[in-house]
Amino acid sequence: MLTKGADLLNGGLKYRRLVAEKEIANGIVDVKKKTLRSYYELHWHDFFEITYYFEGRGKNIINGKSYDIYPGSAIFLTPTDYHEITVDEPMTEVTLMINPDVISDELVYGTVALDDAVYCVFEGEERQKFEFLLDMIQDEFKWKKSYGHTCQKNLVGLIVANVVRKHDTQNLGGEPRVNGKNEKLFKKAMSYILMNFTKNPSLSEISEHLGYSTCYFSRHFHELSGMPYKEYIRKLRLNHAKRLLISGDMSVAEVATNSGYATLQVFLSDFKRVYGETPTAFRKRYK
């Protein structure tokens, strides 16, 4: 069972929230190798996490969807994911808890925006190469070598990129790209939005963060995303709300608050308009 982090009591169910400030002492990454033998309770964290499984079998249930765990499988979790783990056979794993500041805008954009979790399976030579990277970062983390922080940052980037690239190949048939001269602007914007959408950032706030005028950013964001900024934020909040409704027993009011809605009434109206049913009806139908 988890022993660190802050408890959140929602709808009678205690969730565990792990925070980077406590879990990642060096501000970059924390690396742990362990054997999981029993159920791991539903929880979430405000940092990124990669878990790779060397041995054992079970299921990682992420946002209500089950993913099979067996040797060679890897899962990348974002701060928007809720998950729990069931164990069929004791599982030996390496877990990297990664400070969000270490992940590039491109990788954040390629992971948080997906409806499903980033999940992949390494086999053969690819598995050997990936496990070599894991050995390297464990070595750098354990022995505190010279230039250790620099090596850890570089290795984290390589490990995350390998997992995301493998997921894209296995599930998407290739890497989705945003083309054109504004690609860098768009990915930087998306990285900020995807990490802060539950705080309901305004158009002027994100424009100022990126160093552009509100008019310029609004026009180009619409061109690249295919929808106005406010509509995109609403889409992210509703998708996050669906994850919360599926994952546990939060009350509908708590789901609305945790998804960035200021009032329950607006949340209920948006949810029904987009999905054609109330949050309560959706939860009942899904479960």
Stretch among 36-45, 99-108, 128-137 having the lowest mean pLDDT: 99-108
CA distance 219 to 215: 6
Domain ranges of the chain: 6-172, 184-286
Stretch among 116-120, 229-233, 246-250, 261-265 having the lowest mean pLDDT: 246-250
Residue pair 86/58 in contact by the 8 Å Cβ criterion? yes
Stretch among 49-53, 101-105, 255-259, 271-275 having the lowest mean pLDDT: 101-105
Distances (CA, A) of 158 to 45, 94, 95, 137, 165: 22, 16, 15, 10, 10
Share of residues in the chain with pLDDT > 90 (%): 47
What pLDDT, on a 0 to 100 scale, did the predictor assign at position 244?
86
Share of residues in the chain with pLDDT > 70 (%): 89
What pLDDT, on a 0 to 100 scale, did the predictor assign at position 103?
87
What pLDDT, on a 0 to 100 scale, did the predictor assign at position 144?
77
> Residue 12: pLDDT above 90?
no
Residue pair 138/94 in contact by the 8 Å Cβ criterion? yes
273 Cβ neighbours under 8 A, 6+ residues apart: none
Q: Which fold has domain 184-286?
A: Arc Repressor Mutant, subunit A (1.10.10)
Q: Which two tokens stand for residue 81?
A: 């994911």
CA distance 163 to 91: 19
pTM to 2 decimal places:
0.76
CA distance 72 to 253: 40
CATH 2.60.120.280 is the classification of domain 6-172: yes
Q: pLDDT-derived band of residue 31, with 50, 70 and 90 as boundaries? A: very high
Q: Which two tokens stand for residue 236?
A: 């992210």
| 203 class by beta-carbon count within 10 Å (0-12 exposed, 13-18 middle, 19+ buried) | middle
What pLDDT, on a 0 to 100 scale, did the predictor assign at position 93?
97
Residue pair 45/83 in contact by the 8 Å Cβ criterion? no
For 166-210, write each residue's pLDDT tens digit.
998 887 655 444 445 566 777 788 888 888 888 888 999 988 888
> Residue 58: pLDDT above 70?
yes
